[in-house]
Amino acid sequence: MKILVIGGAGYIGSATSAYFIAAGHKVIIYDNLSHGYRDAIPPDVPFVQGDICDRAALDAAFSAHQPDAVAHFAALIEAGESMTNPGIFFHNNVVGAITLLDVMTQHNVKRMVFSSTAAVYAGKDAPLSEDDPIGPASVYGETKLMIERTLRWYHRVHGLHYCALRYFNAAGAMLDGAGQALRGEAHQPESHLIPLTLQVPLGKRESISLFGADYPTPDGTCIRDYIHIEDLASAHVSALDALDTHEEMIYNLGNGRGYSNREVIDVARQVTGHQIPVVETDRRPGDAPILVASAEKINRELGWRPNHPDLRDIIASAWAWHKSHPDGY
């Protein structure tokens, strides 16, 4: 299949593109490079620099490349920033996705895999299943929910087949067979706990901040479910294949095991051998106390299961990436 990967110069989109190619698909990447990197794109993959809000540029890309399917990763992703500047999130994420869906409809492209998020859930103490209450705590989560709802209507009205994958916390790096890091996290600015923590042993920051140590959790810090990007990537390959027979899919992608922020920092200490000082600060708006996935549904329906569930392996791969690419791409 020929897949137009929107946002494929970013962290998860570039790794997933490599997995699509390995599975025998053809990939074209479309990205405005606002937060992505030309060097993250796998070798020999055609690249179109363009914005999802630019209908004419999308139209030209669809005409030139005639894709059979779209994998849509492009978004602004910082939940914290979305609580101070909501307009750019609604515009980029929601208006951009609707523009993309309209161009897909115009070109009769009927398959989409979409990057959704755990941030659509209200959150609870036990692993979340797809039927659990929805209630985003941030504008970012709300934009993803709005797109999921839009997908449902494009299915009903235009016959779109889609799969919305609700990732929990994407982490880790893609390594080659010799353990060399090929692709990893290089968000600018970085807001994710693992890369920020690893900046301490890299000598890029003095300490790691814990935003809130008074949450209703055993050690007072937020609990999250970390999923290796290679496991996310393999789930997209399964989801894309399933679009032939499944018209509407929504799946969680996580390991079903939560780690507190303090536990993550402890594992990073073990992996790096650095003591990694911690500074406790106030809570950030938009952070739910606990977000852990039940990925039982995608396992049951598509047979997907994570190959790298161990947090130590996830952090070790991230450390291999950051040590070899201290300044990103």
Least separation in angstroms between residue 38's CB and ligand NAD is 10
Rank residues 1 and 33 by Cβ distance to ligand NAD and give the closer one: 33
Rank residues 64 and 159 by Cβ distance to ligand NAD and give the closer one: 64
Which pair of tokens denotes residue 92?
């980029």
Which helix or strand (DSSP H or E) is residue 248 part of?
A: strand 248-253
Least separation in angstroms between residue 131's CB and ligand NAD is 19
Burial (CB count <10 Å: 0-12, 13-18, 19+), residue 182: middle
DSSP secondary structure letters along 116-172: EEGGGB---SSPBPTTSPB--SSHHHHHHHHHHHHHHHHHHHH--EEEEEEE-EEE-
φ/ψ of residue 99, rounded to 5:
-60, -45
Least separation in angstroms between residue 275's CB and ligand NAD is 26
Cβ partners under 8 Å of residue 250, min gap 6: 116, 130, 148, 163, 164, 166
Rank residues 6 and 316 by Cβ distance to ligand NAD and give the closer one: 6
Cβ partners under 8 Å of residue 159, min gap 6: 110
Least separation in angstroms between residue 167's CB and ligand NAD is 4
How many Cβ atoms from other residues are within 10 Å of residue 230's Cβ?
22
Rank residues 74 and 109 by Cβ distance to ligand NAD and give the closer one: 74
Which 3 state secondary structure label does DSSP give 290? Answer: strand
CB 248 within 8 A of CB 178: no
Query: What DSSP designation does 213 have?
Result: S
Which of 19, 30, 121, 140 is labelled catalytic?
A: 140
Q: Is 162 a catalytic residue?
A: no
Given the rule CB under 6 A, which residues bind ligand NAD?
A: 7, 9-13, 31-36, 51-53, 73-75, 77, 92, 96, 115, 117, 167, 169-170, 187
Rank residues 152 and 274 by Cβ distance to ligand NAD and give the closer one: 152
Rank residues 169 and 197 by Cβ distance to ligand NAD and give the closer one: 169
Least separation in angstroms between residue 163's CB and ligand NAD is 14
Residues 7, 152: Cα–Cα separation, whole Å: 22
Active-site positions? 140
